[in-house]
């Protein structure tokens, strides 16, 4: 009796930590997250609104702020759909067919994640800048890519390049190709198969990739900073506008504009959690490639 | 010789692969190759002179040391966070879990100005350190703070799923054979999550090496002390020293690729262990 009692006691001790250890671990974890995530997130809004709504609105109604918002929306509106089409095409080729060099292709698609944002901007300056490969030709034809809007769009596409592809490739690989093969053998056309069989299967993964891609597209700083030229009201995105205001010691305005981006981040996290929740409830799965 | 592509009844291979390769080449491969060609014009001696310059080596050292310190911090606390999120329940856990991804979603410039303000000597957090004569913002410590923020989700998100898959039966078996809780963690749980921990560490480290936006606001950017390598690239560009900027960029690119290969190797090792 006493030995079996002791055994139960032992098991209890060894499969769970003591109350004290549990409490200490939870406290340490929450303190760490509060220090590095909670306080900074709160501070953005506090600094933006701390001097009152009037200053907050004034900062957001500044025409330069508006043109920055406009440019950020334009860049994201081009980069996200472009990378969406690419992601679907790449995932279709990689997941539904067997061909040589596939793993090399997958690694190449991930490349932009390994490149520093500053280097991402630099390579486009080397191509299209005044001293770049295509620089003289572009100047002859009076086309300006660098220190202009097209350059910002190009680097935004580059830094967000892998997001959608890397969500879709593992997802479509896991789903296999039996359903599409069945549709084709029953007489459906290629596009019919894609829209009616593939798209419904991948819609959540697709949305997940779009959410992440969009957040990065709107928030990118380093790469855009290199190609933008920082022309106020012309080639400034929201993050660059924040930098300019901050460097002018206009802190209230800087944090007011920054609070828009912080809101975007919160919306992104919420949308991401909703998709994850839906996927969990549907019993389907998202391959978690969210390592960047 | 095996054919390039195995037979399939599905259509669209040529279109999908053709578009993929075209888009990849135009937007990624050709732009990246410009780095090599531009450096080639500089010549090997010219490249070596730039890459081993005192200021460049100092900036690389600052970048590496700060990234390493931040990744170590994140490995330790990230493991604790992952553990708490997988094993315990507490009110608000789902919100805390979602918040872990904040550094992925919050633009780096916003993180940069906010951390600089918080850790300045008169800032909310910085003032407590200032009392003890420790300066964080505008010193290399500030860089570590920014990089810790940037790298925070990596270890948590790589360890979390692996820790959730550790079978409780094995822990129970070890316990019933008389192992203490600490022994079970050390001998049973830790060995199975350790590849994931290492992968998360490497991902955080790799991300930190190239980071720019969050660091420049808090670093102080003093040459030889708190100047990171990406900032030096920007500085050279602003002086129209394209060759110099390119040479540093190439060094960084080679470092990034090496890390990418190492991480792929780690993930392969980690997956293999999981299957066993």
Q: Residue B131: which pLDDT band, with cuts at 50, 70 and 90?
A: very high
What is the distance in angstroms between the Cα of B136 and the nearest Cα belonging to chain A?
Answer: 14
Q: Residue A2: which pLDDT band, with cuts at 50, 70 and 90?
A: very low
Q: What pLDDT sits at residue A286? A: 59
pTM of the model: 0.91
Average pLDDT rounded to a whole number, residues B156-169? 91
pLDDT tens, residue by residue, B83-120: 999 999 999 999 999 999 999 999 999 999 999 999 99
Q: Which of residues 152-171 of B touch A (CB under 8 A)?
A: 152, 154, 157-158, 161, 168, 171
Examine the pLDDT at A289 and tell me if it is beyond 80. Answer: no
Query: Nearest chain B Cα to A128, which residue?
Result: B31
User: CB–CB of B203 and A291 under 8 A?
Assistant: yes
Q: Which residues of A touch B83 (CB under 8 A)?
A: 25, 29
Q: A251 CB near a chain B CB, below 8 Å?
A: yes
Q: What pLDDT sits at residue B274? A: 59
User: CB–CB of B104 and A7 under 8 A?
Assistant: no
C-alpha B255/C-alpha A116 separation (Å) is 10
Q: Is B228:B70 a contact under the CB 8 Å cutoff?
A: no
pLDDT tens, residue by residue, B192-250: 899 999 999 999 999 999 999 999 999 989 899 999 999 999 999 989 888 889 999 99
**CA angle A174-A108-A152, nearest 5°?**
110
Q: What pLDDT sits at residue A291? A: 37
Q: A15 CB near a chain B CB, below 8 Å?
A: yes
Examine the pLDDT at A283 and tell me if it is beyond 80. Answer: no
Q: Which of A16, A116, A126 sits opposite B252 (nearest CB)?
A: A116
Q: Residue A12: which pLDDT band, with cuts at 50, 70 and 90?
A: low
Q: Which residues contact B169 (CB under 8 A, 6 or more apart)?
A: none
User: CB–CB of B27 and A154 under 8 A?
Assistant: yes
Examine the pLDDT at A218 and tell me if it is beyond 50. Answer: yes
Examine the pLDDT at A97 and tell me if it is beyond 90. Answer: yes
Q: Which residues of A touch B220 (CB under 8 A)?
A: none
Comparing C-alpha atoms, which of A244, A250, A209 is closest to residue A229? A244
Q: A106 CB near a chain B CB, below 8 Å?
A: no
B5 SS3 class: strand
Percent of chain A having pLDDT more than 90? 74
Q: Is A220:A198 a contact under the CB 8 Å cutoff?
A: no
Q: Which of A43, A221, A266 sits opposite B108 (nearest CB)?
A: A221
pLDDT tens, residue by residue, A118-158: 999 999 999 998 888 888 889 888 888 888 999 999 999 99
pLDDT tens, residue by residue, A47-94: 999 989 999 999 999 999 999 999 999 999 999 999 999 999 999 999
Q: What pLDDT sits at residue B275? A: 57
Q: Which of residues 200-229 of B touch A (CB under 8 A)?
A: 203, 206-207, 209-213, 217
Q: What pLDDT sits at residue B38? A: 86
Q: Which residues of A touch B154 (CB under 8 A)?
A: 291
pLDDT tens, residue by residue, A242-265: 999 999 999 999 999 999 999 999
Q: What pLDDT sits at residue B120? A: 95
Q: Residue A278: which pLDDT band, with cuts at 50, 70 and 90?
A: confident
What is the distance in angstroms between the Cα of B55 and the nearest Cα belonging to chain A?
Answer: 18
Q: B106 CB near a chain A CB, below 8 Å?
A: yes
Query: How would CATH label the architecture of B44-275?
Result: Orthogonal Bundle (1.10)
Q: Look up the ipTM and state it.
A: 0.91
Domain ranges of chain B: 44-275
Q: B9 CB near a chain A CB, below 8 Å?
A: yes
Q: Residue B265: which pLDDT band, with cuts at 50, 70 and 90?
A: confident
Q: B233 CB near a chain A CB, below 8 Å?
A: yes
Q: Residue B8: which pLDDT band, with cuts at 50, 70 and 90?
A: confident
Q: B179 CB near a chain A CB, below 8 Å?
A: yes
3-state DSSP helix/strand/coil % of chain B, to nearest 5: 80, 0, 20
C-alpha A41/C-alpha A203 separation (Å) is 31
- Please compute, for residue A236, the number of CA atoms within 13 A of its CA located in the half-sphere on the CB side: 19
User: CB–CB of A98 and B5 under 8 A?
Assistant: yes
Q: B148 CB near a chain A CB, below 8 Å?
A: yes
User: CB–CB of A123 and B157 under 8 A?
Assistant: no
Instruction: Considering only residues A162 and B188, tell me which one the structure prediction assigns the higher pLDDT.
Output: A162
What is the distance in angstroms between the Cα of A100 and the nearest Cα belonging to chain B?
Answer: 6
What is the distance in angstroms between the Cα of B176 and the nearest Cα belonging to chain A?
Answer: 6
Q: What pLDDT sits at residue B88? A: 93
């Amino acid at each position: 009796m006493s030995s079996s009692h002791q055994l139960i006691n032992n098991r209890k001790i060894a499969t769970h930590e003591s109350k004290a250890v549990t409490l200490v671990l939870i406290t340490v974890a929450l303190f760490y997250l509060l220090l590095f995530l909670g306080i900074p997130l709160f501070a953005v809004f506090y600094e933006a609104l701390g001097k009152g709504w009037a200053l907050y609105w004034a900062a957001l109604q500044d025409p330069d702020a508006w043109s920055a918002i406009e440019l950020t929306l334009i860049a994201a509106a081009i980069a996200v759909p472009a990378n969406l089409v690419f992601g679907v095409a790449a995932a279709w080729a990689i997941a539904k067919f067997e061909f040589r060099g596939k793993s090399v292709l997958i690694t190449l698609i991930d490349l932009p994640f390994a490149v520093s944002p500053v280097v991402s901007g630099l390579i486009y300056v080397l191509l299209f800048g005044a001293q770049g490969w295509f620089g003289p030709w572009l100047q002859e034809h009076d086309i300006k890519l660098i220190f202009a809007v097209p350059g910002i769009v190009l680097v935004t596409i580059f830094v967000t390049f892998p997001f959608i592809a890397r969500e879709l490739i593992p997802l479509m690989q896991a789903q296999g190709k039996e359903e599409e093969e069945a549709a084709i053998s029953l007489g459906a056309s290629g596009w019919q198969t894609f829209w009616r069989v593939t798209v419904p299967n991948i819609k959540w993964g697709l949305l997940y990739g779009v959410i992440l891609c969009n957040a990065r597209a709107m928030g990118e700083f380093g790469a855009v900073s290199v190609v933008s030229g920082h022309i106020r009201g012309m080639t400034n995105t929201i993050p660059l506008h924040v930098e300019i205001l901050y460097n002018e010691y206009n802190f209230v305005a800087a944090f007011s504009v920054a609070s828009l981006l912080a809101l975007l981040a919160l919306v992104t996290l919420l949308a991401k959690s909703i998709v994850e929740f839906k996927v969990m409830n549907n019993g389907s799965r998202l391959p978690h490639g969210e390592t960047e | 010789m095996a054919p390039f592509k195995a037979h399939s009844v599905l259509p669209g291979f040529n279109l999908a692969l053709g578009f993929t390769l075209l888009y990849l080449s135009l937007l990624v491969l050709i732009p990246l190759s410009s780095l090599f060609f531009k450096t080639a014009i500089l010549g090997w001696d010219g490249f070596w002179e730039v890459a081993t310059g005192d200021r460049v080596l100092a900036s690389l050292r600052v970048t590496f040391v700060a990234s390493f310190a931040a990744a170590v911090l994140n490995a330790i606390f990230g493991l604790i966070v992952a553990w708490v999120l997988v094993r315990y329940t507490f009110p608000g856990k789902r919100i805390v879990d979602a918040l872990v991804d904040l550094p992925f979603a919050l633009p780096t410039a916003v993180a940069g100005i906010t951390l600089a303000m918080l850790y300045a000597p008169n800032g909310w957090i910085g003032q407590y350190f200032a009392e003890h004569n420790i300066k964080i913002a505008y010193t290399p410590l500030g860089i570590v703070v920014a990089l810790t923020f940037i790298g925070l989700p990596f270890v948590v998100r790589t360890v979390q799923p692996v820790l959730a898959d550790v079978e409780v039966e094995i822990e129970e078996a070890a316990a019933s054979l008389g192992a203490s809780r600490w022994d079970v963690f050390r001998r049973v749980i830790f060995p199975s999550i350790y590849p994931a921990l290492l992968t998360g560490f490497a991902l955080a480290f790799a991300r930190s090496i190239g980071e720019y936006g969050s660091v420049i606001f808090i670093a102080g950017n003093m040459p030889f002390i708190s100047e990171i390598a990406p900032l030096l690239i920007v500085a050279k560009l602003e002086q129209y020293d394209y060759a110099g900027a390119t040479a540093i960029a190439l060094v960084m690119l080679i470092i990034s690729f090496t890390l990418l290969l190492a991480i792929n190797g780690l993930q392969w090792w980690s997956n293999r262990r999981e299957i066993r």
